[in-house]
Amino acid sequence: MPATVVLGTQWGDEGKGKFTDLLASEVDFVVRYQGGHNAGHTIVIGDDRFALQLVPTGILNAHVVPVIGNGVVIDPKVLLDEVEVLSSRGIDTSRLVISGSAHLIMPYHQELDRLTERYLGKNKLGTTKRGIGPAYADKASRIGIRVQDLLDEKIFSQKLEVVLKEKNQILAKVYNRLPLDEDKILADYLDVYAPKLSPMISDTVGILHRAYKQGKEILLEGAQATFLDLDHGTYPFVTSSNPTAGGACTGSGLGPRQIDRVIGVAKAYLTRVGAGPFPTELEGETADLLVERGFEFGTNTGRKRRTGWFDLVLLRQAVALNSVSEIALTKLDILDVFPEVLVATQYEVDGERTSDLPYHQSTFHKARPIYKRFEGWMEDLTKVTKKEELPYNARLYLSFLEEQLEVPISMVGTGPERDQFVSLR
Ligand code: IMP
């Protein structure tokens, strides 16, 4: 069975968790392919609210094998804490498999993430300070320590010795900090984390290819989103991995011809955390209302998200970059009380209109949105489950988005619960 990718098409927090969870009930494997515990997926099942950072969403479905792919960076303490919390709530975590080629987030990564942000001052990126960027930087510099190194004490110790020497020099000489204690790191990683993680470590590439050949259904779950992509996002205000569909291949080991469905999750309005350009950003009462109704605070960091209107220029680019085959539109109900709903169709830059995303960052910073205005539906959508029950104005809004994006909207989210959605297919 060809694999499916589900990914964010905006700046993250589109509500991917809920749709991934819904899709997970129909598949055999759910694979995280990039990012780390900078991600945060919230799933609501009845009175239970699950906030997942590293463990794939599929963990909540008893028949699914959740896989953490080679493209992910793992903080072992966070992973083990998450596994423990899930187990204590009655979830079977024994099926979890971790790629031996995934990289480990080490204590110096987190420390350097914090220090670099402080050093950058007003130019800071607004990272989650989880050590994600420094861990991926070490991976690219070929001094990263991988999950498989936990299985060999000698190799782990040798690698740590070499890399820590350099990191401690940087901490002391650049940032005037105390060096990190090598023995403490060795004790934590080899004596505490390694024995607990070892049974989960495996050749995930082999597992996935065998599963593919056996006709199993595989869902590749993106974290963050298209415009936080290291290559295609609003650099430098991006994360350090590739959430776009290409990253699903490199981060899992499946090839492009093994994927035939790409579900782009888009929120009915926009949010962004951290710094960076945001042409449709709102301020004042409308922004506050979106934050309040959409509960727009980071799952992980608690930071209030910036909010804005839906942006078709961004979305058209996301559809192209990811070969999106269908859109899952989330949180439409949040717009229920707005008498007018706006959608940016183009940008104006230096007096010229464009439908394309400016490739030059300085141009993008100057872009002003051109809006199409829709009369709001002013009705409660939270109980709507059928296409025919959607108010006329909401249907007009959805048809316009479909026509502009040239891909179908297959699902529309109308509330946080698992069953609060409308299937349009
Ligand atoms: P990092 O991934 O911690 O390095 O942060 C880089 C940028 O990505 C910052 O602007 C973060 O706010 C943003 N970011 C990282 N993870 C997420 C996420 O899951 N949702 C939304 N923004 C994120």
* Tally of CB atoms within 10 A around 341: 23
pLDDT digits (tens, 9 = 90+) for 180-217: 999 999 999 999 999 999 999 999 999 999 999 999 99
CA distance 288 to 294: 10
Instruction: State residue 374's pLDDT score.
Output: 97
242 residue type, one letter: N
Question: For residue 92, how many C-alpha atoms fall within 13 Å in the half-sphere facing its CB?
Answer: 7
Instruction: State residue 74's pLDDT score.
Output: 98
Ligand 1 atom with the shortest distance to the CA of 38: 16
Q: End-to-end distance of the chain based on CA atoms, in angstroms?
A: 21
Indicate the SS3 state at residue 104.
Answer: strand
pLDDT digits (tens, 9 = 90+) for 98-115: 999 999 999 999 999 999
Residue nearest to atom 2 of ligand 1 (CA): 239
Instruction: Provide the sign of the torsion angle of the four alpha carbons 112, 115, 120, 126, taken in this order.
Output: positive
φ, ψ of residue 306 to 5 degrees: the values are: -75, 145
Residue 48 has pLDDT above 90, yes or no: no
CA distance 102 to 83: 17
**Is residue 235 a contact partner of residue 228, using CB atoms and an 8 Å limit?**
no
Mean pLDDT of the chain: 95
- Output DSSP code: residue 174: I
> Best substitution site from 130, 239, 296 to test ligand 1's pocket, by max atoms within 8 Å of Cβ?
239
Q: How confident is the model at residue 70 (pLDDT cuts 50, 70, 90)?
A: very high
Establish whether residue 273 lines the binding site of ligand 1, counting it when its CB lies within 6 angstroms of any ligand atom. yes
Instruction: State residue 299's pLDDT score.
Output: 73
Q: Which residues contact 1 (CB under 8 A, 6 or more apart)?
A: 212, 215, 216, 217, 218
Residue 21 has pLDDT above 90, yes or no: no
Residue that wins the pLDDT comparison between 21 and 96: 96
Instruction: Provide the sign of the torsion angle of the four alpha carbons 90, 92, 94, 96, taken in this order.
Output: negative
CA of 139 to the centre of ligand 1 (A): 18
Cis peptide bond prior to 236, omega within 30° of 0? yes
CA of 76 to the centre of ligand 1 (A): 19
CA of 187 to the centre of ligand 1 (A): 30
Instruction: State residue 345's pLDDT score.
Output: 98
CA of 225 to the centre of ligand 1 (A): 9
Establish whether residue 224 lines the binding site of ligand 1, counting it when its CB lies within 6 angstroms of any ligand atom. yes
Indicate the SS3 state at residue 63.
Answer: coil
Q: Which residues contact 71 (CB under 8 A, 6 or more apart)?
A: 33, 34, 102, 241, 242, 247, 250, 251, 252
φ, ψ of residue 278 to 5 degrees: the values are: -160, 85
Instruction: State residue 381's pLDDT score.
Output: 97
pLDDT digits (tens, 9 = 90+) for 372-414: 999 999 999 999 999 999 999 999 999 999 999 999 999 999 9
CA distance 39 to 275: 17
* Tally of CB atoms within 10 A around 410: 16
Tokens of 69: 């792919």
**Is residue 79 a contact partner of residue 66, using CB atoms and an 8 Å limit?**
no
Residues with catalytic roles: 13, 41
Alpha carbon 310 to chain centroid, angstroms: 19
pLDDT digits (tens, 9 = 90+) for 297-345: 987 778 899 999 999 999 999 999 999 999 999 999 999 999 999 999 9
Residue 144: Cβ-neighbour burial (10 angstroms; 0-12, 13-18, 19+) = buried
- Output DSSP code: residue 61: S
Residue nearest to atom 9 of ligand 1 (CA): 127
* Tally of CB atoms within 10 A around 205: 16
